[in-house]
Structure formats: structure tokens, C-alpha cells
A and B are shown apart, each in its own frame.
Chain A
Amino acid sequence: MMPLPITEDDLNGFVDGTLDPNRHVEVSAYLDAHPHVARRIAVYGEHRDMLRDAFAPVIDEPVPTELDLSRMIAERRLPRQAPRWAMAAAAVLLLSVGVAGGWSLRGMDSPTSEGVQALAREAAASYATYVPDQVRPVEIRATDRDVLAAWTTKRVGRPVGIPDLTAAGYRLMGGRVVPTEHGPAALFMYDDDRGTRLVMLARPMKAEPALPMSLHAEGALNSFAWADHGLGYSLVGAVTPDRLHPLADEVRRQIRSEA
């Protein structure tokens, strides 16, 4: 049987030691018969060894403190944006003191528009349906983030950013497309590993493409809703407004920075 012709890939594989034993023997024989090629391959091997040697000292260096992984993880639990969050919390506190009655059902940017109220209602309804679901709270899990993004983009009719709330301690569980009175919406669900779940709903806002953030409450459930560039968003959870507000701000910030 005729051996296959020797290719450049074989020669590189020879240098990198990736050939199977039979092929290795064939390439060796070829190199014995072709000293000119053999010299070139020897140089390649020499360069490989030299490159390894040249960069080897880096491996033995002590790892600098800034690259201590455990420390980095520990610091993330106290979110890096702590000052900004503290400011947001302080602002919320001041505002609630200012209106003396505390948080109203109307939200903080009154008068609240009809559209954003509908959005908040729809988000609360989705929350009530899917969050308690033990079997399938989400249809597409976070591990298939790309699938989720593609699906929601297709049904909502435009890309919907999937916010990352890891720094705030909330892990993306996944999401689904849900029906609303105003057409298909994207739903993303988050979990803080202590059983607190948040739902973010996003759908087109035809009448009012941009609206400031407002608070809506329904029993223990709170939501912040707003609209940007023709998409309405609502972040809802059984979380106090002062804890939910910075999360909503972070979601809005991420979506704006992606746009």
C-alpha cells in the first residue's frame, strides 16, 4: 500500500508530538531521506524548546496578590459598586422620608403612565405563574444562554439584553417567552441561592418608547418598571424596594451600555 504523502501538517504534528505512532515512523523515514526538510524541522523543534525556556521563568514567579482568586471572589460578595449602591440606597431613604408617607402604589415618578402600569402588572402575573413552579420555572436554562437570547430576540422582534446580576449575588436561572396583552415578552429569572427569585420582563413599548423608572407594589411583591428605546422593562421580586432599586438600576445600566 502506498503511504499517504507527507504534508506540512504532518511535519508540524511531528514537531508537536501529536502524530500517531505509525505516522510518526513514516514521517521519520521521510525526514531521513530528505535532509533539507529534516534540517528545517530540527530548527522548528529547537525554537519550540527555546520558546518554552524563554517563558518558563514566569511560571516560577510568585503570583501577585491582585491575582489571588479566593480574595477576588470574597471581594465580589461585597459588590465593587458598594459606594454607588450605598448612594442609591441613601437616595431611596431620603426620598421615602421626603414623601413622608413612604412608598405609594403609584410609584415615584407620578403620574405613572398607563403603559408602564400594564407592564408592571404583566411582570407580576408572570412572576406569580413561574416563580413558584418547582418543576420548570424556566424553559431555557442559563447554560443555553445563546439559545435563550436567540429565541427571545426572535419573538420579541429585537435583541433583548440578558443582564448579569452575579455581582449582586443573583444568578441567572434562565428564561422563556411569555404572552402579554401587548405581544410576546422575554422573561429572565434570577436566584440568589437562598430562595429569593427575581423576574425581569421585557417587551416592546409602542406608545411610550422612553419612561423613567417607577415603583409598583402588589402585596409583598415590588417591581421597578421603565422604558428605553422602545422596550419596556420590569424587574419584580418579593424584595423590599430599597434592595430592588439598585438591582433595577444595574439592569438598566447594563442594557444601556450594551445598546
Chain B
Amino acid sequence: MGEARLSSKGDTVNYEMVRLIEPQIPALRRYARALMRERAAADDLVQDCLERAISRWHQRRQGDDSRAWMFTILHNLAMTRLRRASQRPIHIALDDADAANFASAARQEDGLRHRDLVNALAQLPDEQRTVLLLVTVEELSYADAAQVLGVPIGTVMSRLSRARERLAKLMAAEPRTARQSPHLRSVK
């Protein structure tokens, strides 16, 4: 870091970039992990995102919110990868991956419920999963989520609504729950 090739102006720009982006890295990793599920794949994605942010920093429009800007870059990169991955069949033992990635829940009961929920989340279509994560976990405003996803707010709302409905259905149909209420299984 003792490189002194940049003028003070360049250093000011870099300082500003570090000041604005660095605090966001944990949340960017969280969103990436939730989408990619695997730790290595997620961090790889975040690394790409940071590199892109560094090279495009000067293109940012004045007044752009840096958080929405970063999430937009990350989201677009993630969608490209997921689309590419969906063209090839992937075989990941999801339960194992999740056990390793989200195993730090203090109580086992919580751990199991989280695993069920994360598995149910994975079954949502990308457009529902992403909006749900951005709004609930990342706590983006609807407007910022719309910017990240590149859709109107109305679309954010309808996707969010469908995502919640679907997740609730999936969770209600979880095997452990179904065992307790066999009637649910005989329907359809």
C-alpha cells in the first residue's frame, strides 16, 4: 500500500470509494451467500463485484446511492452466473452445503427450521427469491429494490407478494409439518 503513483486527487477518490464501499462488504457477502449458497462461489462473486465497482466508480452518477449501486452490480453478476449454471445440471448436496454454511445457529431447533426455510427459499424462482432477500434480509426500500432489480416498484410489490405466499405454502408442506397433519397430504 506504499504505492505513491497516484496523485492526491486519485487518493481522495480512492479514499471515498473505500469509505463508502467497505462497510457494505459483509451485507454483499450475505446476499451473495443466500443466492449462491456455497461460500466459495459467493465470495468469488463478491470479488468480481468489487473489481467491477472499482473500475466503474468514476461512472457512478452523482447522487446515486452507493448501496443500491453495489447491490445492482452484485445482483446482475449473480443472475448471469445462475443463468449460466442453470444451463448445466448441478449436483450439490443442498443439505450438506447448508449445514456447513449456516450451521452457527445456537439452538438445534432453530438450525433445523432455518435449514427448512433456506431449502424452501431455494425452490422459489429467482425473481421471487431475490426480491424477498433484498427487502427482508437486506432491508432495502422498495424503491432501492426496484433499482437493483431493474423493474418498476409495482413489479417489486407483486413479486414480493407471490414470494411470501409461495414460501408460506412450501413451509406448510414441509415433511415434518405434514407428518403432524396427514390431511394435507391427501389433498390433490
| A251 shortest CB reach to chain B, Å | 15
Chain B contributes a number of interface residues (CB within 8 A of A) equal to 55
- Contact mask for chain A residues 50-74; partner B; CB cutoff 8 A; 1 contact, 0 none: 1111110111010110110111111
Report the nearest B residue to A172, measured CB to CB. B58
B59 and A145 within 8 A (CB): yes
Q: How many A-B residue contacts, CB cutoff 8 Å?
A: 126
Distance between Cα atoms of A61 and B39 in the complex (Å): 11
- Contact mask for chain B residues 103-128; partner A; CB cutoff 8 A; 1 contact, 0 none: 01100001001100110010000000
B58 and A70 within 8 A (CB): no
Instruction: Enumerate chain B residues within 8 angstroms of A169, measured Cβ to Cβ.
Output: 5-6
Q: Pick from A41-49, A113-121, A216-224 the stretch touching chain B.
A: A41-49
Distance between Cα atoms of A51 and B31 in the complex (Å): 11
B33 and A12 within 8 A (CB): no
Distance between Cα atoms of A167 and B137 in the complex (Å): 34
User: Provided the pairs A57-B104, A73-B18 are in contact, do residues A47 and B33 lie with their beta carbons within 8 angstroms?
Assistant: no
Instruction: Enumerate chain A residues within 8 angstroms of B56, measured Cβ to Cβ.
Output: 164, 166
User: Provided the pairs A43-B168, A54-B117, A55-B137 are in contact, do residues A72 and B54 lie with their beta carbons within 8 angstroms?
Assistant: yes
A51 and B168 within 8 A (CB): no
User: Provided the pairs A59-B26, A69-B18, A69-B25 are in contact, do residues A50 and B51 lie with their beta carbons within 8 angstroms?
Assistant: no
Q: For the complex, is A18 an interface residue (Cβ under 8 Å from B)? A: yes
Q: For the complex, is A171 an interface residue (Cβ under 8 Å from B)? A: yes
Q: For the complex, is B78 an interface residue (Cβ under 8 Å from A)? A: no
B161 and A8 within 8 A (CB): yes
Chain B residues 60-91 with CB under 8 Å of chain A are: 60-62
B25 and A63 within 8 A (CB): yes
Distance between Cα atoms of A118 and B42 in the complex (Å): 50
Instruction: Enumerate chain A residues within 8 angstroms of B34, measured Cβ to Cβ.
Output: 55
Choose from A57, A59, A193 the contact partner of B7 (Cβ within 8 Å). Answer: A193
Report the nearest B residue to A164, measured CB to CB. B55
Instruction: Enumerate chain B residues within 8 angstroms of A73, measured Cβ to Cβ.
Output: 14, 17-18, 54
User: Provided the pairs A47-B117, A194-B7 are in contact, do residues A67 and B46 lie with their beta carbons within 8 angstroms?
Assistant: yes
A66 and B27 within 8 A (CB): no
User: Provided the pairs A47-B171, A58-B29, A69-B25 are in contact, do residues A143 and B59 lie with their beta carbons within 8 angstroms?
Assistant: yes
Q: For the complex, is B173 an interface residue (Cβ under 8 Å from A)? A: no
| A116 shortest CB reach to chain B, Å | 30
B1 and A53 within 8 A (CB): no
Instruction: Enumerate chain A residues within 8 angstroms of B117, measured Cβ to Cβ.
Output: 47, 50-51, 54
Q: For the complex, is B96 an interface residue (Cβ under 8 Å from A)? A: no
Report the nearest A residue to B133, measured CB to CB. A51
| Interface SS of chain A | helix
Instruction: Enumerate chain A residues within 8 angstroms of B157, measured Cβ to Cβ.
Output: 8-9, 12
A58 and B1 within 8 A (CB): no
Distance between Cα atoms of A171 and B110 in the complex (Å): 50
Instruction: Enumerate chain B residues within 8 angstroms of A142, measured Cβ to Cβ.
Output: 58-59
Chain B residues 132-173 with CB under 8 Å of chain A are: 132-133, 135-137, 141-142, 157, 160-161, 164, 167-168, 171
Q: For the complex, is A109 an interface residue (Cβ under 8 Å from B)? A: no
Q: For the complex, is A84 an interface residue (Cβ under 8 Å from B)? A: no
* Seed contacts A67-B25, A193-B9; 17 additional CB < 8 Å A-B pairs: A9-B161, A18-B141, A47-B164, A47-B168, A50-B117, A51-B132, A54-B118, A55-B33, A61-B26, A67-B47, A70-B1, A73-B17, A74-B3, A143-B59, A145-B59, A166-B55, A194-B7
Subset of 17 A-B contacts with CB under 8 Å: A12-B157, A16-B142, A18-B142, A44-B168, A47-B168, A50-B113, A51-B121, A55-B30, A58-B33, A59-B26, A59-B27, A66-B43, A69-B21, A73-B54, A78-B3, A171-B58, A172-B59
Point out residues on B near A: beta carbons under 8 Å: 1, 3, 5-7, 9-10, 14, 17-18, 21-22, 25-27, 29-30, 33-34, 43, 46-47, 50-51, 54-56, 58-62, 102, 104-105, 110, 113-114, 117-118, 121, 132-133, 135-137, 141-142, 157, 160-161, 164, 167-168, 171
CB-CB nearest 10 A-B residue pairs = A54-B114, A57-B104, A58-B30, A48-B136, A59-B26, A8-B161, A166-B55, A193-B10, A44-B164, A9-B157
